[in-house]
Amino acid sequence: MKNFIRLVVAVFAMFVLSGLTATCQAAQKIVAVMPMSQIVRNGYSSYAADNMTEELINVLVNSGTYTVIERSQLDQVVQEMGFESTGMVNPDSAIEIGKLSGAQYILVGKVTMADVYNSTVPLLGIKTLKAKVGLEYRLLDGKTGQILLSNTIEDQHTEDAITGSDFSDQVVLHKACGDVAKKVLKEIQKKNPIVGTVLDIDSSNNVVYVDLGRESGLQVGELLQVYKEGAPIYGTNGEIITTRTIELGKIKITEVNDNHSIGKLVDKDAQIDRGALVKRIIK
């Protein structure tokens, strides 16, 4: 019976993912965000763990680069596997989650710090709220179970409010979680750089066409570095270690289409030719 349920869950996952790829584009990476657990136990830790999970999902989806497995589908997979969804996933369970859900990446983590400090200036009627949040996270490969990223990120958010206002501890804690989630996204994106090629240049209008469309996750307003590869760099045994990179200029994206994007040259004097390489600039 258990094997039958496992088969049903796997088929359901494939059915859902086939629909996702039709609407969200096949090139987007599929991520399973496990509910964040908590190391600290205080009045803020439970809220911070829940909020951190939601903020991580939000930044991944809004980046346009990732498709996140629906919570209901992930819960089904976890229930079938018979372990706590908030537990730290090991390589073996990551492979199982990847197999049943179709996730290419598994994101797990635990809140290591969650606190809010407040101070007031009575004469001015101002109170200051400062939230501090810490997250220890891992990004695992859903196919091999390999740990791709492992890091601890801490951040804080401070807000001033008028004494007696309804500005709450949860508001600043929510914003601190959002700041941490954005830092996690940057680390993940470094593992998945967007790389493309210049298709054409309209020199009279400083317009550049690149072969990165919606499926790449590229968004209007983003910057691309235009470059070409230079001479190779060799190791002591004669093997090629890497190649030099020659930067040619930057493009600011103004339009994203199905199979290409259009941008403006930031440096109008940049010398760029068809076939030059481009990559997303991660700030």
* Per-residue pLDDT at 91: 80
**Considering only CA atoms, which of 53, 54, 133, 38 is closest in space to residue 87?**
38
One domain, residues 176 and 98: yes
Q: Do residues 175 and 52 touch, judged by C-beta distance below 8 A?
A: no
Task: Please state, in angstroms and rounded to a whole number, the distance separating the CA atoms of residues 157 and 155.
Answer: 7
One domain, residues 153 and 180: yes
Amino acid at 241: I
One domain, residues 209 and 79: no
| Confidence band of 46 (pLDDT split at 50, 70, 90) | very high
One domain, residues 93 and 51: yes
Task: Please state, in angstroms and rounded to a whole number, the distance separating the CA atoms of residues 28 and 89.
Answer: 23
67 strand-pairing partners:
30
Residue ending a domain, choose from 134, 160, 191: 191
132: its two tokens: 């501090």
74: its two tokens: 């992930």
- Write out the residue range of the structural domain in which residue 203 sits: 195-280
Q: What is the CATH number of the domain that holds 123?
A: 3.40.50.10610
* Per-residue pLDDT at 84: 59
One domain, residues 204 and 68: no
Residues in contact with 242: Cβ distance below 8 Å, sequence separation at least 6, in sequence order:
232, 233
pTM over 0.85: no
Average predicted confidence (pLDDT) for the chain: 84
One domain, residues 200 and 187: no
Overall average pLDDT of the 32-51 stretch: 91
Q: Look at residue 10 and tell me whether its pLDDT is greater than 60.
A: no
Q: Look at residue 115 and tell me whether its pLDDT is greater than 90.
A: yes
One domain, residues 115 and 171: yes
174-190: pLDDT as tens digits: 999 999 999 999 999 88
Task: Please state, in angstroms and rounded to a whole number, the distance separating the CA atoms of residues 58 and 5.
Answer: 31
One domain, residues 216 and 184: no
